[in-house]
Each structure stands twice: as structure tokens, then as C-alpha cells.
């Protein structure tokens, strides 16, 4: 038999298989903190708790507190990713610019393929911007960002 691994104030026994040893549930506050620290990523949290992901899912489903923590943790992770994307865009990183334009610039014609959008039973076809035109628009955005960055550097040096 595998020796239980200590997690916080209680011991949790690792489930060994379909008919393995039942895990001892640590306090909700402890599970909550692990979920927060790991952005609610179930497999990662289950590994830290030394349990199967299925067990953690069950604990979360039984607790409105843990359900809310998972939701807020994933929102926080999305916020962190968006913040990094904004930093990359301000730094003029082309991949981030392209990604942002594909996601947020659809209304202005920045799409990669033809799309059909249905809105209130009215069908609307969005047509691709030709590749050369897209490249020219992206080049102009990059030039503008570079100019703004240079101006900020000059103002910061004074």
C-alpha cells in the first residue's frame, strides 16, 4: 500500500485505480487556496492534492464555494493572459497584433476566412480583406505603435 502524502493538516491517500483507496477530503479552505494558486486547472490541482481529477470534480460539484472559486480563478487566468497580450501589442509584437485583429477586428474586416454570421434571422456575409491590403493595414498599425513607443521613450529620457 502506498504511504499517504501529507497535504496541509490532513493526509490524503492517492487513489490507486478504479477500486483504489478512498481519498480523505482536506478542509474546503485548503482546496480553495490550491484552486486559486493554480487558476482552477483541475488536473494540476488534483496532482497537488494527490487525488484523481474525477475526485476533485466531485468535491467541486458538491461545494458552491469551490464552484465559485474555479469560475473566478479561470476569469483571473484570462485577465492575466489579456494583460500579457496588451503588453505584447504595445511592444509591437506582430503575432499578438495579428491575433488581436483576428479576434477583435472582425467588424473592420480583419478576418482570415469567409464567415456567415446570423443575427436576428438576418444573414450577413463578411468578405475577406485581400492579403496585400491586410498586410498594408498591419504595417501601418505597427508603424504607428513604433512611433508612439519612440515618443514615449523620448519623453521618458527628458
Q: What are phi and psi of 115, to 5 degrees?
A: -135, 150
Tens digits of residue pLDDT in 29-83: 999 999 999 999 999 999 999 999 999 999 999 999 999 999 999 999 999 999 9
Reply yes or no on whether the pLDDT at 6 is more than 70.
no
Reply yes or no on whether the pLDDT at 10 is more than 80.
no
Please check whether residue 152 lies inside any domain of the structure. Answer: yes
Domain boundary among 48, 74, 100: 74
**Can you give the residue range of the structural domain that contains 117?**
111-157
Dig out the grid coordinates for 97 from the structure. 497584433
Domains of the chain: total = 2
Nearest CA-CA partner of 40 in 82, 100, 86, 80: 80
What is the average pLDDT value for the chain, to the nearest integer?
78
- Quote the CA–CA distance of 44 and 155 in Å, as a whole number: 45
Q: Are 96 and 77 in contact (CB under 8 A)?
A: no
Helix (H/G/I), strand (E/B), else coil: 7: strand
State the Rg of the chain over Cα. Answer: 24
Please check whether residue 28 lies inside any domain of the structure. Answer: yes
Q: What are phi and psi of 5, to 5 degrees?
A: -95, 135
Answer yes or no: do 11 and 67 share one domain. Answer: yes
Domain boundary among 21, 48, 74: 74
- Quote the CA–CA distance of 105 and 136 in Å, as a whole number: 15
Amino acid at each position: 500500500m502506498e504511504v499517504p502524502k501529507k497535504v496541509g493538516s490532513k493526509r490524503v491517500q492517492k487513489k490507486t485505480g478504479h477500486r483504489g483507496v478512498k481519498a480523505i477530503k482536506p478542509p474546503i479552505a485548503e482546496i480553495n487556496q490550491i484552486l486559486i494558486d493554480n487558476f482552477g486547472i483541475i488536473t494540476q490541482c488534483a496532482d497537488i492534492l494527490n487525488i484523481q481529477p474525477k475526485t476533485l470534480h466531485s468535491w467541486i460539484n458538491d461545494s458552491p464555494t469551490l464552484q465559485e472559486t474555479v469560475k473566478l480563478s479561470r476569469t483571473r487566468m484570462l485577465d492575466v493572459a489579456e494583460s500579457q497580450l496588451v503588453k505584447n501589442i504595445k511592444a509591437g509584437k506582430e503575432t499578438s497584433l495579428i491575433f488581436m485583429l483576428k479576434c477583435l477586428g472582425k467588424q473592420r474586416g480583419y478576418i482570415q476566412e469567409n464567415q456567415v454570421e446570423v443575427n436576428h434571422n438576418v444573414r450577413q456575409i463578411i468578405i475577406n480583406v485581400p492579403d496585400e491590403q491586410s498586410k498594408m493595414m498591419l504595417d501601418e498599425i505597427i508603424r504607428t505603435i513604433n512611433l508612439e513607443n519612440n515618443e514615449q521613450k523620448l519623453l521618458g529620457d527628458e
